[in-house]
Protein backbone atom coordinates (compact mmCIF):
# COMPACT_ATOMS: atom_id res chain seq x y z
CA UNK A 1 0.00 0.00 0.00
CA UNK A 2 2.72 2.48 1.01
CA UNK A 3 4.77 1.28 -1.96
CA UNK A 4 1.93 1.89 -4.42
CA UNK A 5 1.42 5.32 -2.95
CA UNK A 6 5.12 6.16 -3.15
CA UNK A 7 5.30 4.88 -6.72
CA UNK A 8 2.49 7.01 -8.11
CA UNK A 9 3.26 9.88 -5.78
CA UNK A 10 6.81 10.21 -7.09
CA UNK A 11 5.97 9.57 -10.72
CA UNK A 12 3.14 12.11 -10.88
CA UNK A 13 3.74 14.59 -8.05
CA UNK A 14 7.49 15.21 -8.50
CA UNK A 15 7.06 16.50 -12.08
CA UNK A 16 4.11 18.60 -10.91
CA UNK A 17 6.17 20.22 -8.15
CA UNK A 18 9.04 20.96 -10.57
CA UNK A 19 6.61 22.37 -13.17
CA UNK A 20 4.94 24.65 -10.62
CA UNK A 21 8.25 25.84 -9.17
CA UNK A 22 10.24 26.46 -12.35
CA UNK A 23 7.70 26.86 -15.14
CA UNK A 24 5.01 28.91 -13.42
CA UNK A 25 3.68 30.61 -16.57
CA UNK A 26 3.27 27.43 -18.61
CA UNK A 27 3.36 24.72 -15.94
CA UNK A 28 0.67 22.65 -17.69
CA UNK A 29 2.84 22.26 -20.80
CA UNK A 30 5.94 21.56 -18.69
CA UNK A 31 4.03 18.98 -16.65
CA UNK A 32 2.75 17.19 -19.76
CA UNK A 33 6.21 16.97 -21.32
CA UNK A 34 7.68 15.61 -18.09
CA UNK A 35 4.86 13.09 -17.70
CA UNK A 36 5.80 11.88 -21.20
CA UNK A 37 9.05 10.71 -19.57
CA UNK A 38 6.89 7.88 -18.29
CA UNK A 39 7.10 6.41 -21.78
CA UNK A 40 10.53 4.94 -21.03
CA UNK A 41 8.67 2.41 -18.91
CA UNK A 42 7.67 0.86 -22.24
CA UNK A 43 10.96 -1.03 -22.04
CA UNK A 44 9.28 -3.13 -19.35
CA UNK A 45 7.38 -4.78 -22.23
CA UNK A 46 10.66 -6.39 -23.27
CA UNK A 47 10.98 -8.17 -19.94
CA UNK A 48 9.22 -11.21 -18.57
CA UNK A 49 7.17 -10.87 -16.52
CA UNK A 50 6.16 -7.42 -17.82
CA UNK A 51 5.44 -6.16 -14.34
CA UNK A 52 7.13 -7.46 -11.23
CA UNK A 53 6.57 -5.31 -8.16
CA UNK A 54 9.67 -6.78 -6.50
CA UNK A 55 12.03 -6.00 -9.34
CA UNK A 56 14.06 -2.83 -9.44
CA UNK A 57 13.88 -1.17 -12.87
CA UNK A 58 17.16 0.69 -12.47
CA UNK A 59 19.96 -1.22 -14.16
CA UNK A 60 17.56 -3.94 -15.28
CA UNK A 61 15.71 -2.47 -18.25
CA UNK A 62 17.64 -1.03 -21.23
CA UNK A 63 16.14 2.47 -20.84
CA UNK A 64 16.99 2.40 -17.12
CA UNK A 65 20.67 1.51 -17.51
CA UNK A 66 23.47 3.77 -16.35
CA UNK A 67 24.28 4.65 -19.97
CA UNK A 68 20.67 5.76 -20.59
CA UNK A 69 20.68 7.75 -17.33
CA UNK A 70 23.84 9.62 -18.42
CA UNK A 71 22.09 10.48 -21.67
CA UNK A 72 19.05 11.83 -19.78
CA UNK A 73 21.30 14.05 -17.66
CA UNK A 74 22.95 15.32 -20.84
CA UNK A 75 19.50 16.18 -22.26
CA UNK A 76 19.01 18.61 -19.36
CA UNK A 77 21.88 20.82 -20.59
CA UNK A 78 20.58 22.32 -23.90
CA UNK A 79 17.57 24.54 -23.32
CA UNK A 80 15.59 22.91 -26.14
CA UNK A 81 15.68 19.40 -24.68
CA UNK A 82 15.82 20.40 -20.99
CA UNK A 83 12.17 19.63 -20.19
CA UNK A 84 12.37 16.17 -21.73
CA UNK A 85 15.64 15.52 -19.91
CA UNK A 86 14.19 16.75 -16.62
CA UNK A 87 11.17 14.49 -17.00
CA UNK A 88 13.40 11.49 -17.63
CA UNK A 89 15.75 12.28 -14.73
CA UNK A 90 12.75 12.73 -12.41
CA UNK A 91 11.41 9.39 -13.63
CA UNK A 92 14.74 7.72 -12.77
CA UNK A 93 14.74 9.41 -9.33
CA UNK A 94 11.18 8.16 -8.73
CA UNK A 95 12.19 4.63 -9.76
CA UNK A 96 15.24 4.83 -7.47
CA UNK A 97 13.01 5.79 -4.53
CA UNK A 98 10.79 2.82 -5.46
CA UNK A 99 13.79 0.51 -5.36
CA UNK A 100 14.99 1.78 -2.01
CA UNK A 101 11.55 1.07 -0.51
CA UNK A 102 11.65 -2.59 -1.55
ZN1 LIG B 1 10.68 3.40 -14.84
Per-residue pLDDT of the chain (102 residues; tens, 9 = 90+): 666 776 777 888 999 999 999 999 999 999 999 999 888 988 888 887 776 777 888 988 999 999 999 999 999 999 999 999 999 999 999 889 888 877
63 Cα to the center of ligand 1, angstroms: 8
| 3-state percent helix, strand, coil for the chain, nearest multiple of 5 | 75, 0, 25
Rounded to two decimals, the pTM is: 0.85
Domain assignment of residue 83, given as a range: 2-101
7 Cα to the center of ligand 1, angstroms: 10
87 Cα to the center of ligand 1, angstroms: 11
31-55 confidence digits (pLDDT tens): 999 999 888 988 888 887 776 777 8
From the number of C-beta atoms within 10 Å of its C-beta (0-12, 13-18, 19+), residue 47 rates as middle
Q: How many domains does the chain have?
A: 1
Contacts of 40 (CB under 8 A, 6+ apart): 63, 64, 68, 88, 91
Tell me if 64 sits within 8 A of 48, measured CB to CB.
no
Amino acid sequence: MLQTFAHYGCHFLLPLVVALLFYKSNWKYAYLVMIAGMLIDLDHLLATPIFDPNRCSIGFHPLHSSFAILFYIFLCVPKTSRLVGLGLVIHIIADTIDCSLM
